[in-house]
Structure 1
Amino acid sequence: MTSLNDTIRDLKNPDNLPKPLPIVHMSNARWFPKICEQGSLQPGECPVFHQNLLYFFYGGAFYRSKKKVTQEPTELPVAFLFAPKLLDNVARYFPYDTGAAQTERYGEPWSQTLRNFDRYAVSNQPNNFEIPCKLIHYIYGSNKKYLRGDHKSNLTDLQDPLPELYNFLESDLTKEGCDHRKCIIECQVEKQVDLKFDSPAWVAFPEGLMKDFVDFCEKYLRDCVPDYYAYDSHKIFTPSEIEAKIEEEASKLVKKRYIKLYDWP
């Protein structure tokens, strides 16, 4: 059975390969002070792959918590957006959210199909920008179309498993509660990210944690202070609603800095 890893590597590199996009890691306020104090993102044990991993999404802040309405401030979301150079740290890519497949949020038969992770994992060896850009080119055509979830129709003419992936992307899974996040690229990192050397380009956090952010910048970043989005929130909140706002704010930066600036394809 042909893997996506083999197929992507067999496909030629086009002359108009899309430029690399930033990646985003999301967490919550419970861990933000520790992240700021130690100056790093540490991999945590993943119940799906049974190894220590950090998860990122390619091109945006697409993660959504399953937490319901709460008054617990430690559940407020935070986000770290990194320039494309951090793609060197990625171990593998998936053309969908593996957690959603594992928890059967795609319904059947798609959850079972996409839990064949060996078939859909794409290794980032050698570590460079080429792999995610080829995924974008062959599945979506351009960065702009990827961010709109507008996949190509000629996937059915390419090698397996791209026709199967096309059928998944083409399926209307809204009845399963699936939203635009089924059309995203997941990035898995196996080692810690040292924020002093791989400093974030943008950070989102609740404004009550501003002192932690300032101390972090003074301790580790000095003159390289990233852009940030310090948000206010009601005492009673739903994490996913705030995460949607963070995604919107991150999208503005991505489109301005990485799409419009260079008029990428």
Structure 2
Amino acid sequence: MTNLDTTVLNDKSGNVPLEKTLNLVLSKIQDPKLLPPLPIAHLTSVGSFQKIIDGSFTLKPQFCKVFERDLLYFSYGGVFHRYGSKPIQKDENEATYLPIAFVFKPELIKKMACFYPYDTGAAHEDMYGDCYSKEMQNWDKYKVDNDGNFQLPSKIVYSFYETNKNYGNSQPVQEFNKEHELIMEPMQQLLKFLKARLQGVDHRKNAIECQTSKPISLNNKIYEYIMWIGCPRENVEQVYEMCEKINESLKSGHYPHIHGYDTEQNAIIPRELIYAHLQIPAKEYIKTYFLR
């Protein structure tokens, strides 16, 4: 039995009838095809990374204004960095400014408490428009509780995208397979939302969000789950030193792939530039091993 985080899992308002929750619907669907699970990624800031290496090599939950408690967020299948027309402000504590990304093996999914099949932050900020924002704020309706394994996100992907490749390209199915015909709610509403092209909404709309309220220590076997780290080029040496220290502590020889991206030290950087230097290389790395 895995050490599952139940703090988020047990946080239920009871406002949604159980039979109309995505959690229950997915539990009734038998997958004719089990998709290979994908890696999960965590995005942090340069300032937070400094605290990680100065402390106990631990990813710590931060206060979330959406759910009003401390949470640690991961994204399923890749690094999903919000970008847009506004420039990034110079704040080393903000993940949008010179972000650092960790990509973990799928085994870390076992530590997650729950999943949402979309970006809850965008829903909270009413970014999905009048047609969808209020509906997607029904957190209990669309939350999928983790049952201690790492297959649940694969079931979400199969149900709404059919293949990992389609999920990676944000291409939902046009209609459900026959095994979904008798399950209309809330599957149909969610599929309609995932297929919608909404103005001013970025690619994270279709990304599966993973949550836990527990810290994730990297100074144990979880360190060997780290596959890829993306960071500003000037932080590559720090990342390598972190890996050396953990390897020495664990008597391990594991070194993740470290990708350093170029930055302009004295300029306000457009978001799309960070997207090109961080998210795309992470996607290509994951694609090589998981999305073929």
TM-score by length of 2: 0.82
In structure 2, the CA distance between the partners of 1:178 and 1:70, relative to structure 1 (3 Å rule), is: closer
SS state at 2:133 partner: helix
Match of 1:243 among 275, 283, 290: 275
Q: Give the stretch that moved more between structures: 180-189 or 86-95.
A: 180-189
* CA distance in 1: counterparts of 2:45 and 2:102, whole angstroms: 11
Kept after mapping to 2: 8 A contact 1:25/1:80:
yes
1:39 matched to 2:57? yes
Kept after mapping to 2: 8 A contact 1:79/1:204:
yes
* CA distance in 1: counterparts of 2:282 and 2:39, whole angstroms: 10
The aligned amino acid for 1:219 is K
* CA distance in 2: counterparts of 1:230 and 1:114, whole angstroms: 36
**Number of aligned pairs?**
256
In structure 2, the CA distance between the partners of 1:133 and 1:71, relative to structure 1 (3 Å rule), is: closer
| 1:247 positional shift | 1.0
Kept after mapping to 1: 8 A contact 2:261/2:277:
no
TM-score by length of 1: 0.90
Match of 1:179 among 191, 198, 202: 202
Q: Give me the identity figure in percent.
A: 34
Match of 2:151 among 121, 130, 138: 130
Q: Residues 18-69 of structure 1: CA distance to partner in whole angstroms, max 9, x if unpaired?
A: 0000001101111112112321100111111112111111001013167943
* CA distance in 2: counterparts of 1:109 and 1:73, whole angstroms: 34
SS state at 1:21 partner: coil
1:253 matched to 2:285? yes
Q: Residues 71-92 of structure 1: CA distance to partner in whole angstroms, max 9, x if unpaired?
A: 7372211101000010001100
The aligned amino acid for 1:143 is N
List gaps (5 residues or longer) in structure 1: 261-265
The aligned amino acid for 2:101 is A
Partner of 1:146: 167
Kept after mapping to 2: 8 A contact 1:76/1:239:
no
Match of 2:222 among 188, 195, 198: 198
Match of 1:79 among 98, 101, 112: 101
Partner of 2:71: 53
SS state at 1:163 partner: helix
